[in-house]
Amino acid sequence: MSTIIDVAKEAGVSPGTVSRFMNGVLVKERNRLNIGDAIKKLNFSPNLAARSLKTSKTYVVGVVVPSLGDFYTNSQVMKIEQKLYESGYSIILCDTISNHLTEEKRVNLLSQNMVDGLIICSCSKNPEYMERLKEKGIPVVLVDYGSSSSICDQVLVDNIGAVYEPVQYLINNNHKRIALINGDLKSFTGRERFEGYRRALADYMIEIDERYVKNTYFNEQCAHDALIQLMELSNPPTAIITSSYHLTIGALEAIQDMNIKIPDELSFIGFDNVGITKLIRPHLSIIEQPMNEIGEMAAELLLKRINGDFSGFPTVLRLKTKFISKNSVIEKRVVQ
Amino acid sequence: MSTIIDVAKEAGVSPGTVSRFMNGVLVKERNRLNIGDAIKKLNFSPNLAARSLKTSKTYVVGVVVPSLGDFYTNSQVMKIEQKLYESGYSIILCDTISNHLTEEKRVNLLSQNMVDGLIICSCSKNPEYMERLKEKGIPVVLVDYGSSSSICDQVLVDNIGAVYEPVQYLINNNHKRIALINGDLKSFTGRERFEGYRRALADYMIEIDERYVKNTYFNEQCAHDALIQLMELSNPPTAIITSSYHLTIGALEAIQDMNIKIPDELSFIGFDNVGITKLIRPHLSIIEQPMNEIGEMAAELLLKRINGDFSGFPTVLRLKTKFISKNSVIEKRVVQ
DNA sequence: TTGTAAGCGTTATCAG
DNA sequence: CTGATAACGCTTACAA
């Protein structure tokens, strides 16, 4: 491994000149050529650790996600990686396996001068590390997770609207018995998505029937069980909405298992238009989150902070979801 | 940000002692306690860049994948991350967007003292960077990609057996018109998987009918088109095998579009038992790659190399795939 | 424009 | 077991 000093000797200049050349400062034509040759000849590339030690910049950003196996985080991460790379940053990726302790550990590790900033998609409720990061001056962008407690830059989707819109659509198509398969109300997204459901029904003067509301957990098994319970009610819903990707998968599995005909026997609206959805027939009416945009916004916001621009702090970006109407819902339902 | 020197002062010892303490060397009880207190009080954590500069170890491993959006790489990456973390390593993740130029760029970036080793799942045919890495002494493990040209540690699956086994199974169930939807023969996996097909037919004295072989590219559109072409033949196949995840998805879409009944009108065997497969009815007979094992083996092998153990170099690990028989194939087919 | 030299925060050698 | 000190390879004043 050659160093700047080797290059300097080879090119007959001082190390300082080589360093300047490497960093795009103008040097005399002759020197420029000599240095270029020397670099080629010695196959030189600068030692990033040394540079980082000196400048206290790493050009690395930490990205923390709950599970790499989740389709829906991945498109975000792809965008984040791409966007950051364009600005010269690499990403260190951490999978917390949806575990708060792991999350804490990883963030602590990353904050030891490994990264210039952090994008956290996972997120414990009131992470202790938050203030430590603030002390250390490491900017953080929280994604897809609302934290009323921490003052922090955030990129979120309009969870309320996400569910409000399809419920409204169902109501307009004469559905009254509308069920929601939702996650934990202790989670921020769970609460907001339920609120969208509640508000839509309230706005149309439909009273909530508790039997049609399944606030369980954001996983497939729960959705699977919830769907079966719903359909075994004496007066089952005519339409079901799920409020996350995993819930959608679980519900669809139960629909397969019970051999329910969509949309004739049940109208169904899924969540997150990724992965499997295009293989389902009939084509699913679905709530789509703007994954790419979320990733892009998060990356841009973080870059801004890294570059010392703290205008508008804390910025909370709310991105709209999109309801896509396909063929899994009976429209203009005739009330019997 | 506090340094070792601050801690040393606070604890009334020398920086060397603090450093030793940090690295698990025995120090006198009294000093140990004092140093511990000082670290707590000053909220000290060592500067990893400085450490890395001194020791030329980063405790970071680069992982290069063709696409984070691919389900089947992700389970590997998860395992890799997990395994490496247990040994104190973090991973820098790079998505090459299946682009050789991007791959080259990323690897070059990573090799600037950013990482102690590299796991590359992507892989150009004869990457230039290979010898540069060798020069720099950065160990590399290639995953899922065979390279006859480079001498290199590799973790591969038994691609030939992967396809041989299901073809044999089909033959044993009286199928004769067996089609293969495969990727590019220029790719290593494409060649091997085709070889599995060829060999199985040869072993059972069935002549290859070129019309039943679709060596296209490993993407959904190609599989979609290929399946349609196959089924529009005057004498269409009774069974079709796909040889990658994307090919499976594309073929399934075409099956939906053409409204083909599985297995009555066509027997079908898919590839990669991840993501969507559990939602397909009837349950798919499928070729499963040992993703977790691949990830684990790759991580372990790399760790071994990083720790200076080059026994058995180059190691080429071949992992067996598993054929899972479910309900998408007509068994004991009656020949008309 | 360039050379010189100090210093970033560790670790490691060498005496003690 | 500990302290002093010289690196590691780069950047950046400062002076020329």
For residue B78, the distance in angstroms to the closest alpha carbon of chain A comes to 6
- Work out whether strand A322-324 and strand A285-288 pair parallel, antiparallel, or are unpaired: antiparallel
Which residue from A108, A252, A279 is facing B249, i.e. has the nearest CB?
Answer: A279
pLDDT digits (tens, 9 = 90+) for A295-324: 999 999 999 999 999 999 999 999 999 999
- Looking at residue A203, what is its pLDDT? 97
What are the tens digits of pLDDT across the range B135-151?
A: 888 999 999 876 666 68
Name every chain B residue with its beta carbon within 8 A of the beta carbon of A64: none
Estimate in Å the CA A110 to C1' C10 gap, whole number.
Answer: 18
Residues of A in contact with B78 (CB under 8 A): 67-69, 95
* Residue B139 exposed, middle or buried by CB count within 10 Å (0-12, 13-18, 19+): buried
CB pairs under 8 A between A and B: 117
Which residue, A206, A246, A209, is CA-closest to A230?
A: A209
**Span between the terminal Cα atoms of chain B, in Å:** 80
Shortest distance, CA A7 to any CA of chain B (angstroms): 16
> Which one, of A246, A248, A243, lies nearest residue A198 by Cα?
A243
| pLDDT for position B72 | 76
* Cα B303 from Cα B306, distance rounded (Å): 5
Mean pLDDT of A11-17: 96
DSSP assignment of A165-199 equals: HHHHHHHHTT---EEEEE--TTSHHHHHHHHHHHH
Interface test with B, best of A40, A53, A107, A116 (most B CBs within 10 A): A53
CA B69-B70-B76 angle, to 5 degrees, is 115
- The size of chain A, in residues, is 336
Number of other residues whose CB lies within 10 A of the CB of residue B324: 16
Determine the pLDDT at residue B39.
Answer: 95
Which three-class secondary structure state does DSSP give residue B68? coil
- Compute the C-alpha angle B231/B236/B242, nearest 5°: 65
Range of lowest pLDDT (A9-13, A125-129, A313-317, B118-122): A125-129
Distances in whole angstroms, Cα of residue B224 to Cα of each of B220, B221, B230, B246: 6, 5, 10, 10
Q: pLDDT for A16-70, tens place per residue?
A: 999 999 999 999 999 999 999 999 999 999 999 999 999 999 999 999 998 888 7
**Which residues on chain A are in Cβ contact (under 8 Å) with B279?**
249, 252-253, 256, 276, 279-280
Contact yes or no for A53 and B53 at CB 8 A: yes
Rounded CA–C1' distance between A13 and C1, in angstroms? 12
Could you give the residue ranges of the DSSP H alpha helices within chain B?
4-11, 15-22, 29-42, 48-55, 71-86, 100-110, 129-136, 159-172, 188-203, 220-231, 245-257, 291-306
Q: B149 CB contacts (<8 Å, ≥6 apart)? A: B125, B126
Please report which confidence band the pLDDT of residue A331 belongs to, taking 50, 70 and 90 as the band edges. Answer: confident
Domain extent listing, chain A: 1-46, 57-157+291-319, 159-289
Residue A278 has what pLDDT? 78
**A336 has a pLDDT exceeding 60:** no
Kindly state the tokens that stand for B18.
Answer: 């603090």
Give per-residue pLDDT as tens, B309-327: 999 999 999 999 999 999 9
Judge: domain B1-46, CATH 1.10.260.40: yes
pLDDT at A123 over 60: yes
Considering only CB atoms, B74 lies closest to which of A69, A132, A253, namely A69
With 80 as the cut, is the pLDDT of residue B164 above it?
Answer: yes
Sheet architecture: strand order including A90-95: A316-319, A153-157, A140-143, A117-120, A60-65, A90-95, B90-95, B60-65, B117-120, B140-143, B153-157, B316-319
Dihedral angle, C-alpha A184, A186, A188, A193, nearest 10 °: 40
* Residues in B touching A43 (Cβ below 8 Å): 132, 135
CATH superfamily of A159-289: Response regulator (3.40.50.2300)
Task: Name the CA radius of gyration of chain A, rounded.
Answer: 26
Question: B91 vs A90: CB contact, 8 Å cut-off?
Answer: no
Quick check: B278 pLDDT over 70? yes
Topology match between the domains B57-157+291-319 and B159-289: yes
Q: The tokens of B177 are what?
A: 């018109």
| Residue with the two structure tokens 């590799």 | B154
A205-233 pLDDT, tens digit per residue, is: 999 999 999 999 999 999 999 999 999 99
Helices marked H in chain A: 4-11, 15-22, 29-42, 48-55, 71-86, 100-110, 129-136, 159-172, 188-203, 220-231, 245-258, 291-306
Quick check: A221 and A188 in contact, CB under 8 A? no
Closest by alpha carbon to B90, among A27, A288, A112, A255?
A: A112
Largest CA distance in chain A: 92
CATH fold of A57-157+291-319, please?
Rossmann fold (3.40.50)
Backbone φ, ψ for residue B61 (5° rounding): -120, 135
